[in-house]
Amino acid sequence: MATEGDLTVTGSKVAGQNVLLDAARNLTLQSAKETSSQHSTSKSGGGGVGVLVGQSGMGFYVEANASRGKADGDSVTHAETTIDAANTLVLRSGGNTTLQGAQARGEQVIARVGGDLSLISQQDTDHFKSKDQSAGGQVVIGVGSSASVSYNQNKIDSDYKSVTEQTGIAAGKGGFDIELGGTTTLTGAAIASTADAARNRLSTQALVATDLQNSAKYSASSVGGTVGTNGGSPNLGMPQKDDASSTTRSGISAGTLDIRGGDTGAVAKLDRSLTDLQQTGLKPIFDKKEVAETMELGQVASQVGFRAAGDIAARMGWQEGSKEKVILHGVVGAAIAALGGGDALTGVAGAAASQLAFPAIKESLETQGIKEGSSEFNFYLQLAGLAVGAAVGGDSGGSVALAGIQNNYLRHQDVTLLAKKLAKCEADDSQCRDAVVKEAQRISDSNDAALLACRTQTCIDQHVGRIFQGAWIFSSIYNADQAKDNEEKNAFGQISDLETKSLLLAANMAAGLPREREYIDKNCISTFEQGCRERFLAAVKGGVFTRPSDAVGSGWMWMFENYEAAAGGTKQPHEYRDLTLACARGTINECGGPMDQFNAMRRYAGPGTDGGSMVENGTVSKLAIVAHLGYTTHLINPENSSLINITLPGAHALDPGFVIRRIVPDGKGGFFVDTRGWGTGSSPIFNSNAWADGGVWRINTQTIGADALEFKSPFGASTPIMKCENVTLSNGLVKRVCQ
């Protein structure tokens, strides 16, 4: 308490049952600014003269080299001030109250401010720039006369700024009661509460609200080469760049908002649905060590095969010293050595080269404990074949290698191929049907191994996009199974189970990868990084990251167990679909834009959901129809306004199975929701289109439409029908949503 003057708290933590901060004049809660910088320069040069003696005569050489480099970096972070009251927090000032890089929390928050209330979030920043150049030359006179000149240049440029902890006031179930004499200013900040709207009140003379834009971007390039009398060797390093953005919105939770001055224009800019302050911001995407390593690999990779190996490793997000990268380089090295190096590589086609190198590849993998026939063996065999193809095919081979990595999941054409093969099998031809199932298993295992090798969010996003391509036409496999009755469609049923398993694995990987370091820190005490990585992957395979705490073994499960005991518990391969008009555009209503429609579907991602929050990749939903139906997890794909629900093992009446849903515009400003589901769940009553159509998904679809509905004046201008919009996900990433 400051009975005279100002009260300022900087970079500190204050906690208690009841907390009172009282300033006679101004009250300021602010962060402590922490800065760091790095600056380095390097310069070197050298040369020499020497004599060469060989069987064919004598000569001498002259050589020289020089290099220089410069790197500059600076970063600013903020140590937030936090005020935590278990019961009541009171903020009082005769003058202004300012929170800048601070969070004030209480079960109930009361504020009385004589002047202005300013809540300002702060952005952490990081900037890095480097440039390295080197040049050299050599002249040989006499025996083996030659001359060569080389030059290389590497450049890196990175910029990052983001709010990491949102400034604001957060109340619990007691709500907030804030009254001030002046203006409330929110800059990427919030006043949040979990209480009912009736318990929240803000009275202010005026309100100003602005959002903060967060961004991260980097670029890296490497160019150079060698030119000489014996030919040239260009070094075209892989250019790298990435960018991401997000918005930290200003908001005030639902409640009474009294703006005494009468100007309510700022209210429309506010997020009124929030219940807490944002605790994480846009994640940094630049890793100096990883980028520098990838640039170096790009230089080396211009030699036989290793360029492709480096491209593949970078594409997969494999770090220096990782098991995957070590294995891949070992396999490629063994393959090239087996082919005899330089001259041998110029006279053999890519496919033939892979066949010639197979024994060496097999031996290399088996020394790593990877057995022939396993999914991991097939995965590395595929990558080695791509790299060897690049070695014998030059740049075009490298392009093929990257194309292979970009298309390695159960894609649209893979599903189509399996469906064509299955359609040729008679219903009683078990040998033919089993062969198709085995091929599906091989593809699935290989793709799962590729997914588990991901080290970056970009890699995960690429897989998720391809998953949707294949899942959307999964009915082609159902229709290709020549068995007439669902119970006999066992070939489809087995492939459906494989797909459900892969979808569940993808959801766990998508949910787990951002938490990998946290999981390892809590569950692995080994100093061997790869051992910890394997423990994390075991958790992904075990479904740890999509496991609700009260799912398996809870009391409601007995209903389904008893039902199946009475009605039969055999496999029931099934398909259902529903296309329902969710919202029709009318004279006085709009159906929202692409983002509104997609977000509404995410809020109602399954029957019985409350619409309170939007699902992300790996989110677990508890679904109910009258009673508790079970648990699902999710994958989302904003780029075509679709999502997938996946049953959790032992925790859903339809397990195993999955449903894909998509927003389909009606061309008039309204939209349909297309629902398609497949599975082999063992409860016959739930495994029918009659159950899904009308009784469940149609009702849910109408809820989605109502959630996206907007009303307009019948005399006002018509809102244009948008085709694409940007949507910000909860992890801060911005995705393009298109209909």
Work out the pLDDT band at 382, boundaries 50, 70, 90.
Answer: low
What would the DSSP string read from start to end of 612-633?
A: SS---TT-EEEEEESEEEEEEE
Q: With 0-12 CB in 10 A as exposed, 13-18 as middle and 19+ as buried, what is 688? A: middle
Q: Which of 210, 213, 167 is nearest to 192 (CA)?
A: 167
What is the helix, strand, coil percentage profile of the chain, to 5?
35, 35, 30
| Same domain assignment for residues 69 and 131 | yes
Q: What percent of the chain has pLDDT over 90?
A: 30
Q: Which of 279-293, 299-313, 628-642 has the highest mean pLDDT?
A: 628-642
Residue 296 predicted with pLDDT over 60: no
Q: What is the pLDDT of residues 72-104, one digit of tens each?
A: 999 999 999 999 999 999 999 999 999 999 999
Domain match, 339 and 389 both = yes
* Residue 415, token pair as written in the block: 């599903």
Q: CATH number for the domain including 633? A: 3.30.530.20
In the prediction, which pLDDT does 558 show?
A: 47
- What pLDDT sits at residue 451? 83
Which range among 201-210, 278-287, 456-465 has the greatest average pLDDT? 201-210
Any domain includes 470? yes
Looking at residue 441, its pLDDT comes to 85
Q: Give SS3 for 704.
A: helix
- Is residue 687 within 8 A of residue 654, CB to CB? The reply is yes
Residues 130, 107: contact at Cβ < 8 Å?
Answer: no
Same domain? For 356 and 247 the reply is no
Q: What is the rounded average pLDDT for all residues in the chain?
A: 79
In the beta sheet, which residues pair with residue 241? 219
Domain end marker among 480, 513, 546: 546
3-state per-residue secondary structure call for 29-92? EECEEEEEEEEEEEEEEEEEEEEEEECCEEEEEEEEEEEEEEEEEEEEEEECEEEEEEEEEEEE
123-142 and 57-79: which strand pairing? antiparallel
- pLDDT given for residue 517 in this prediction: 87
| Across 109-128, average pLDDT | 96
Q: Report pLDDT for 3.
A: 65
Assess whether 399 and 422 both reside in one domain: no
Residue 296 lies in a domain: no
Q: Average of pLDDT values for 673-688? A: 75
- The answer to whether position 294 is within a domain reads no
pLDDT at 46 over 90: no
Q: Is the model more confident about 653 or about 394?
A: 653
Mean pLDDT for the stretch of residues 535-557: 69
Within a domain: 554: no
The answer to whether the beta carbons of residues 678 and 472 sit under 8 Å apart is no
Residue 25 clears pLDDT 50, i.e. is over it: yes
Task: From 269, 293, 313, give the residue that closes a domain.
Answer: 269
Both 259 and 349 in one domain: the answer is: no
CA gap 44, 575 in Å, rounded: 69
Same domain? 260 vs 397:
no
Which of 206-215, 436-445, 629-638 is the most confident on average? 206-215
pLDDT: which is higher, 339 or 279:
279
Contact predicate 189/250, CB 8 Å: yes
Instruction: Decide if pLDDT at 660 tops 70.
Output: yes
Q: Give residue 399's pLDDT band: very low, low, confident or very high (50, 70, 90).
A: very low
Check whether residue 21 and residue 168 sit in a common domain. Answer: yes
pLDDT class of 363 with cuts at 50, 70, 90? confident
- Check whether 45 has a pLDDT greater than 70: yes
Is residue 23 assigned to a domain?
Answer: yes
Domain ranges, residue 451: 412-546
Domain endpoint, select from 511, 546, 581: 546
551 pLDDT band, cuts 50/70/90, is: very low
What's the pLDDT tens digit per position in 96-107?
999 999 999 999
Helix axis angle, 412-423 to 457-472, nearest 10°: 30
Answer yes or no: is 517 within a domain.
yes
Q: Residue 667 CB: number of other CB atoms within 10 A?
A: 8
State pLDDT tens for residues 204-256: 999 999 999 999 998 887 766 566 665 444 444 445 677 888 899 999 999 99
**Res 473: pLDDT:** 85
Examine the domain organization and report whether 522 and 487 are in the same domain. Answer: yes
Return the half-sphere exposure (C-beta side, CA atoms, 13 A cut-off) of residue 684: 11
Q: What is the DSSP letter of 2?
A: B
Three-class DSSP category at 726:
strand
Same structural domain, 518 and 648: no
Whether 423 and 394 map to the same domain: the answer is no
For residue 396, pLDDT beyond 70 = no
- Name the helix (H) or strand (E) containing 677: strand 671-679
Residue 52 resides in a domain = no
pLDDT of residue 250: 96
Residue 7 CB partners (closer than 8 Å, separation 6+): 1, 21, 22, 23, 26, 27, 28, 93
Q: Is residue 292 part of a domain?
A: no
338 and 264, same structural domain?
no
Q: Torsion angle, CA of 646/647/653/655, rounded to 10 degrees?
A: 100
What is the DSSP code string of 466-531?
HHHHHHHTTHHHHHH---SSGGG-HHHHHHHHHHHHHHHHHHHHHHHGGGHHHHHHHH---S-HHH
Supply the pLDDT for residue 556.
Answer: 41
Supply the pLDDT for residue 225: 59
Percent of the chain whose predicted confidence (pLDDT) is above 70: 71
Among the ranges 109-113, 141-145, 259-263, 696-700, which has the highest mean pLDDT value?
109-113
Pairing between β-strand 81-93 and β-strand 102-113 as defined by DSSP bridges: parallel
Identify whether residues 206 and 341 lie together within a single domain: no
What is the number of structural domains in the chain? 4
For the residues 402-407, what does the mean pLDDT come to?
35
